[in-house]
Chains A and B, each alone.
Chain A
Amino acid sequence: MKLPNIFKPVLILIFILLVSGPGYGFDLKKKVLKEKLPNGITVLLLERHLSPTVSLYIRYRVGAVDEEKGESGAAHLLEHMMFKGTTSIGSKDYEAEKKLLDEIEKTGQRLDREKQKGRNGDSRIVEQLSAKLKALQNEHKSYFIPNEIDRLYTENGGLDMNASTGQDFTAYHVSLPANKIELWARIESDRLLHPVFREFYTERDVVMEERRQRVETDPDGKLYEEFMNAAYGTHPYGRPIVGWTEDLMNLSPHALRKIMQRYRAPQNIVIAVVGDIKPETTLQLIEKYFGKIPAGEQTNNMIAAEPQQTEERRISVKFDANPSMILGFHKPNTPSKDDYVFDVLETVLTRGRTSRLYNKLVTSMQIAQNVSAVNGLPAARFPNLFAIFAQPRHPHTNAELEEKIQQEIDLLKKQPIPDDELIKAKNNIKMTYIQSLDSNSELASILSYYEALLGNYQYFSDYLDHIDQVTVDDILKAANTYLNKNNRTTAFLNKIKE
């Protein structure tokens, strides 16, 4: 990078201030308490007393990647069903309700099977079964109180109650007043042991709407789905988390129960509690409620590895929207040393206005509306991708962007990046890191994430040390090893009517 002379002293100053070793006044290793319950569940506790609140995360080492073929979307639909209550939450008379639920499931299954026959199906049977299902669903309404989990949390000051399903994990979280941790333990242990799948077929329709909203009517969602599917030919990372339409419309409660079984293996469960807590008391409470979950091993599905890519893959999506593109390269996942290198590369290329690709494509050449690099898609339990997303500015094209991005990649492979540029990238990563320490919920999310991913949250506390060790040569080497055409997937979205 060319810098005016007057600017140099400022750089040196910043160099000294930011890279003068650890010790920002926080040391997670000393502050986080990690305990394993006798049954194997991992609990992470971190005291922070700024406000009388606590963020609670329960993360299961189970995600979309664990679904069986033909059942894509099961992990995500299960996450939706987990808000439908338990045998003791939302039920008026569970014994009676259970009989009706079994009848609903049987009818729904028959209806799905008949519909699957397509043209060979009997439309009268479909009609009859639909009517029967509707009647049973209406009858069921008098047997339960809907949305009890949500009511209990919100009525007790719960905030940001939500859940998320990823390829690797499923997480349930809420923030509560610090004196209400027992409510969380009561609800979460109960829905793990005794969930009731109420309103299953209606919720499946809701998820179809979610798919329409996120994929079918959203060019970014559509392009991302097709891109991932092209980048992974064998490995389930190529399937959408929300599920393919055909799989989703036929998902059965049985498919969800198979995922549920994996939740219950204690080695798949990580709990993180961050906030205004007394760790000993909190731990006792968690043990009281979660100790009941029986210890036991869960054998995981064999997940076929993605074979080494040998030639470029290109796909094109037609959509009624302006053009956009994604480039992706296969690379090793966390905690490989190369993964840290790609965190630095992501920053060098597109973080900040002076980053290489932003400065070149948006500011100087003025051919792009936006460009951003992301390391580690779609998840990290398995080898993943380094991806670059870009949108050309009219009348420029995806092809032009591809060419210019390629030139920058070629440059990374040939010329070592200047030291000051590396320092700038590291400074940015550090700032982002420190900012993430400012929020209870983010800390609970990050701690539980690395504990679930690597069996050790300390990856996060040691993170900056590893970033500090990334050298100019590491970047050169990683660029030459991974950013090659035969390792690349290119996806273009182009306007349908042009």
Chain B
Amino acid sequence: MYNASSRIFRVLLITLLTCVFIVPVKTGRAAASADFSPPAPDQIQYEPLHFELPQAQRVVLDNGIVLYILENHELPLVHVKALVKTGTMHDPSGKEGTAELTAYVMRTGGTSALKSSNVDNELDFMAAAVTITMSMESAQVGFSVLNSHLERGLDLLAQMLIHPAFEQDKFELARHLKNEEIRRIKDDPQRLAFQEFNRLIYQNDPRGRFPSYTSLANIHRQDLIDFHRRFFLPNNTMFAVSGDVTRDDAVKIFTRYFGRWNQGTLPADIPPPSQRPRAAVYLINKEIPQSTIISGQFTVSKNNPDFYAFTVMDFIAGSGGFPSRILSTVRNNEGLAYSAGSFYRAKPDYGFFGSYAFTKTSSTLKALSLLDSVLEDIKSDSVTARELDWAKKAINDGFIFSFSTSEQIVWQQMNIAYEKLSPDFLINYRNQIDRVTLKDLNNAADKYLDKKKNVVLILGDSKKLDHPLPTGGFTLITPEE
């Protein structure tokens, strides 16, 4: 096991600027108390609110591990989260599922020092929760423990991340469970539709591949060992630590259990999707009474100056809840859907924008045409100053106030660094959103929204749609298993 080392690690500490936010307010007299009649909601006077967003401390250990630490001693809990630069997009070709199985068996397959059953017993006894999950462009580690078990808990976590044993029977079990998960995806229409939509938009890109029975059958235990060795490296990992631990203790304990983790050669980045998918309508047939409709196209990245205008546009189009255009049209006005809206996934080097609605079979194409017409309408400069004002206030205030636990705060700050965004991204974000004008928004809508570029997927009962799709106007697809 990895005993305490007396070696003193050089600790690099960067103090970040504390950002102070002041929310501007109108000031005025307090409401009269006698014969109280409620003011119009827009006329209520509020006290000004000053506050400082707590700043996490950044520490880099000798072997390149980056720690973001935020102390909070209210409860006897410590939360550790980590991001590892990897993801299912790195699955070896023909062996899709390797990344997910690696993460799963790191957690469940024991360590070089402890059998899996012993790891599970210890963790369950401490009531410590450890999760290692793989997504498309990263792996996330989650760990929560009572502060009294922090040492032993981190010891176990380090063993899982650095020296997983990948026990053969746990690998087999994981593969069986993944097979069953694939079998069950098609029981869930929305999940199936979004997976197949991703497959369509990331055509010929490593991001557009998903595990199948065949690809899972091709994976061997050695593939997991190789995948782990390639990506789980100290210089490829960032930790966010929050809760009832001091900065010095956190550094000491991390150094003890993760300090001997050897650096390795960083794997090459996968470039952003370069090939644009063919715009077309795709259909998956399933005899159910409600259709899932998704439509979208590639768009502005986070590093593009138009990112802010596009963010506001997306909010007004369909991410901003009830007052947003898609929800108020498809849901409130027409009663055609309970769930509808837009989504904007912005990465540092590419972005994707889409809209969706789940509606009864007999209104499928009507709902699709409403989604299109809402976006066309936004392109025709129909957004009002009042809508713009609402969206900017909502985005900015929602943004600051979404950090209400130390866990969220430190996670957000680590993500900025993980995405290699400028350290003052959080402060600039508000200013940039605030500066978006109607002209910027209209330009962005005009420049990037193009109906003709949409990939459209409909999952539903194709024989009972509101009117038949034109012959040759769509492609019927059968999801592979």
A276 closest partner in B (C-beta): B51
Segment with Cβ contacts to A, from B93-101, B198-206, B262-270, B327-335: B327-335
Contact at B290–A159, with CB atoms within 8 Å?
A: no
User: Taking the complex as formed, is B181 at the interface, i.e. its CB lies under 8 A from any CB of chain A?
Assistant: yes
Instruction: List, in ascending order, chain B residues with CB within 8 A of A437's CB.
Output: 75
Contact of A393 among B180, B332, B403 (CB under 8 A): B180
A428 and B394 CA atoms in complex are apart in Å by: 38
Contact at B51–A183, with CB atoms within 8 Å?
A: no
- If over half of B's interface residues share one DSSP class (helix, strand or loop), that class is named, otherwise mixed; here it is mixed
Contact at A206–B338, with CB atoms within 8 Å?
A: yes
Contact at B38–A186, with CB atoms within 8 Å?
A: yes
A207 and B331 CA atoms in complex are apart in Å by: 10
Contact at B184–A391, with CB atoms within 8 Å?
A: yes
- If over half of A's interface residues share one DSSP class (helix, strand or loop), that class is named, otherwise mixed; here it is helix
Instruction: List, in ascending order, chain B residues with CB within 8 A of A53's CB.
Output: 401, 404
User: Taking the complex as formed, is B397 at the interface, i.e. its CB lies under 8 A from any CB of chain A?
Assistant: yes
User: Taking the complex as formed, is A151 at the interface, i.e. its CB lies under 8 A from any CB of chain B?
Assistant: yes
Instruction: List, in ascending order, chain A residues with CB within 8 A of B401's CB.
Output: 51-53, 157, 159, 175-177
User: Taking the complex as formed, is B44 at the interface, i.e. its CB lies under 8 A from any CB of chain A?
Assistant: yes
Interface residues in A259-301 (C-beta closer than 8 Å to B): 288-289
Contact at A206–B337, with CB atoms within 8 Å?
A: yes
A425 and B416 CA atoms in complex are apart in Å by: 38
A190 and B338 CA atoms in complex are apart in Å by: 26
Contact at B44–A183, with CB atoms within 8 Å?
A: yes
Interface size on A, residues (CB 8 A): 90
Taken residue by residue from 386 to 403, chain A's Cβ proximity to chain B (1 for < 8 Å, 0 otherwise) reads as 000001011000000000
User: Taking the complex as formed, is A14 at the interface, i.e. its CB lies under 8 A from any CB of chain B?
Assistant: yes
B52 closest partner in A (C-beta): A52
B390 closest partner in A (C-beta): A155
Contact of A52 among B49, B128, B335 (CB under 8 A): B49
Contact at B338–A216, with CB atoms within 8 Å?
A: no
Contact of B184 among A18, A157, A322, A431 (CB under 8 A): A322
Segment with Cβ contacts to A, from B116-124, B226-234, B251-259, B345-353: B116-124
Instruction: List, in ascending order, chain A residues with CB within 8 A of B377's CB.
Output: none
Taken residue by residue from 77 to 91, chain B's Cβ proximity to chain A (1 for < 8 Å, 0 otherwise) reads as 100000000000000
Cβ distance B158 to chain A, nearest Cβ, rounded Å: 17
Question: When A17-B149, A431-B146 are in contact, do A183 and B41 touch as well, CB less than 8 Å?
Answer: yes
Question: When A52-B49, A393-B177 are in contact, do A154 and B121 touch as well, CB less than 8 Å?
Answer: no
Contact of A322 among B146, B183, B338, B390 (CB under 8 A): B183
Contact of B47 among A48, A179, A207, A355 (CB under 8 A): A179
Question: When A50-B72, A155-B393, A177-B49 are in contact, do A219 and B187 touch as well, CB less than 8 Å?
Answer: yes
Question: When A154-B320, A179-B48, A439-B404 are in contact, do A206 and B126 touch as well, CB less than 8 Å?
Answer: no
Question: When A179-B47, A186-B38, A213-B290 are in contact, do A51 and B75 touch as well, CB less than 8 Å?
Answer: no
A321 and B31 CA atoms in complex are apart in Å by: 59
Contact of A179 among B25, B121, B358, B402 (CB under 8 A): B25
User: Taking the complex as formed, is A480 at the interface, i.e. its CB lies under 8 A from any CB of chain B?
Assistant: no
Contact of A210 among B108, B338, B393 (CB under 8 A): B338
Instruction: List, in ascending order, chain B residues with CB within 8 A of A11's CB.
Output: 125
Instruction: List, in ascending order, chain B residues with CB within 8 A of A161's CB.
Output: 321
User: Taking the complex as formed, is A380 at the interface, i.e. its CB lies under 8 A from any CB of chain B?
Assistant: no
Instruction: List, in ascending order, chain A residues with CB within 8 A of B51's CB.
Output: 51-52
How large, as a class, is the contact surface on chain B? 35 or more
Taken residue by residue from 162 to 176, chain A's Cβ proximity to chain B (1 for < 8 Å, 0 otherwise) reads as 000000000000011
A388 and B381 CA atoms in complex are apart in Å by: 55
Contact of B398 among A51, A147, A159, A354 (CB under 8 A): A159
Contact at A159–B177, with CB atoms within 8 Å?
A: no
A366 and B31 CA atoms in complex are apart in Å by: 66
User: Taking the complex as formed, is A88 at the interface, i.e. its CB lies under 8 A from any CB of chain B?
Assistant: yes
Cβ distance B155 to chain A, nearest Cβ, rounded Å: 12
Contact at B144–A435, with CB atoms within 8 Å?
A: yes
Question: When A206-B338, A354-B121 are in contact, do A159 and B108 touch as well, CB less than 8 Å?
Answer: no
B25 closest partner in A (C-beta): A179
Contact at A393–B176, with CB atoms within 8 Å?
A: yes
Instruction: List, in ascending order, chain A residues with CB within 8 A of B338's CB.
Output: 206-207, 209-210, 213
A213 and B331 CA atoms in complex are apart in Å by: 14
B51 closest partner in A (C-beta): A52
Segment with Cβ contacts to B, from A66-74, A196-204, A310-318: A196-204
Interface residues in B379-393 (C-beta closer than 8 Å to A): 389-390, 393
Instruction: List, in ascending order, chain A residues with CB within 8 A of B179's CB.
Output: 394
Cβ distance B173 to chain A, nearest Cβ, rounded Å: 6
A38 and B33 CA atoms in complex are apart in Å by: 17
Instruction: List, in ascending order, chain A residues with CB within 8 A of B183's CB.
Output: 322, 394
Cβ distance B176 to chain A, nearest Cβ, rounded Å: 7
User: Taking the complex as formed, is A126 at the interface, i.e. its CB lies under 8 A from any CB of chain B?
Assistant: no
Question: When A213-B290, A369-B184 are in contact, do A203 and B77 touch as well, CB less than 8 Å?
Answer: no
Contact at A154–B124, with CB atoms within 8 Å?
A: no
Instruction: List, in ascending order, chain B residues with CB within 8 A of A363's CB.
Output: 173
User: Taking the complex as formed, is B11 at the interface, i.e. its CB lies under 8 A from any CB of chain A?
Assistant: no
User: Taking the complex as formed, is A180 at the interface, i.e. its CB lies under 8 A from any CB of chain B?
Assistant: yes
Interface residues in B28-81 (C-beta closer than 8 Å to A): 31, 33, 36, 38-42, 44, 46-49, 51, 72, 74-77
User: Taking the complex as formed, is A333 at the interface, i.e. its CB lies under 8 A from any CB of chain B?
Assistant: no
Contact at A25–B404, with CB atoms within 8 Å?
A: no
Question: When A354-B121, A434-B76 are in contact, do A151 and B323 touch as well, CB less than 8 Å?
Answer: yes
A355 and B127 CA atoms in complex are apart in Å by: 12
Contact at A10–B398, with CB atoms within 8 Å?
A: no
Contact of A216 among B108, B125, B290, B334 (CB under 8 A): B290
Contact of B404 among A3, A354, A440 (CB under 8 A): A440
User: Taking the complex as formed, is B247 at the interface, i.e. its CB lies under 8 A from any CB of chain A?
Assistant: no
A397 and B73 CA atoms in complex are apart in Å by: 49
User: Taking the complex as formed, is A438 at the interface, i.e. its CB lies under 8 A from any CB of chain B?
Assistant: yes
Contact at A353–B398, with CB atoms within 8 Å?
A: no
A88 and B37 CA atoms in complex are apart in Å by: 12
A180 and B44 CA atoms in complex are apart in Å by: 9
Contact of A439 among B123, B358, B405 (CB under 8 A): B405
Interface residues in A334-372 (C-beta closer than 8 Å to B): 352-355, 362-363, 366, 369
Taken residue by residue from 51 to 85, chain A's Cβ proximity to chain B (1 for < 8 Å, 0 otherwise) reads as 11100000000000000000000000000000100
User: Taking the complex as formed, is B248 at the interface, i.e. its CB lies under 8 A from any CB of chain A?
Assistant: no
Question: When A26-B74, A159-B398 are in contact, do A212 and B290 touch as well, CB less than 8 Å?
Answer: yes
B338 closest partner in A (C-beta): A210
Cβ distance A37 to chain B, nearest Cβ, rounded Å: 14
Contact at B184–A352, with CB atoms within 8 Å?
A: no
Cβ distance A275 to chain B, nearest Cβ, rounded Å: 8
Contact at B180–A190, with CB atoms within 8 Å?
A: no
Instruction: List, in ascending order, chain B residues with CB within 8 A of A89's CB.
Output: 41
B23 closest partner in A (C-beta): A177
Instruction: List, in ascending order, chain B residues with CB within 8 A of A207's CB.
Output: 338
A7 and B118 CA atoms in complex are apart in Å by: 8
Contact at A434–B120, with CB atoms within 8 Å?
A: no
Q: Which of the listed residues B179, B333, B406 has the most CB atoms from chain A within 10 Å of its own CB?
A: B333
Instruction: List, in ascending order, chain B residues with CB within 8 A of A438's CB.
Output: 74-75, 77, 405, 407
Contact of A182 among B46, B286, B406 (CB under 8 A): B46
Contact at A209–B290, with CB atoms within 8 Å?
A: yes
Instruction: List, in ascending order, chain A residues with CB within 8 A of B394's CB.
Output: 154-155, 157
A340 and B195 CA atoms in complex are apart in Å by: 41
B115 closest partner in A (C-beta): A4
User: Taking the complex as formed, is A465 at the interface, i.e. its CB lies under 8 A from any CB of chain B?
Assistant: no
Report, nearest first, the 4 A-B pairs whose CB atoms are least far apart: A157-B397, A205-B335, A431-B127, A210-B338
Q: 5 A–B contact pairs at CB < 8 A?
A: A7-B121, A25-B74, A189-B38, A352-B123, A427-B125
Knowing that A50-B74, A209-B337 touch, tell me 7 more A-B residue pairs with CB under 8 angstroms.
A7-B118, A17-B148, A51-B405, A157-B400, A203-B332, A209-B359, A427-B125
Give the interface of A toward B (CB within 8 A). Answer: 3-4, 7, 10-11, 14, 17-18, 24-26, 48, 50-53, 83, 88-89, 141, 146-147, 150-152, 154-159, 161, 175-180, 182-183, 186-187, 189-190, 199, 201-210, 212-213, 216-219, 288-289, 320-322, 352-355, 362-363, 366, 369, 391, 393-394, 423-424, 427-428, 430-432, 434-435, 437-440
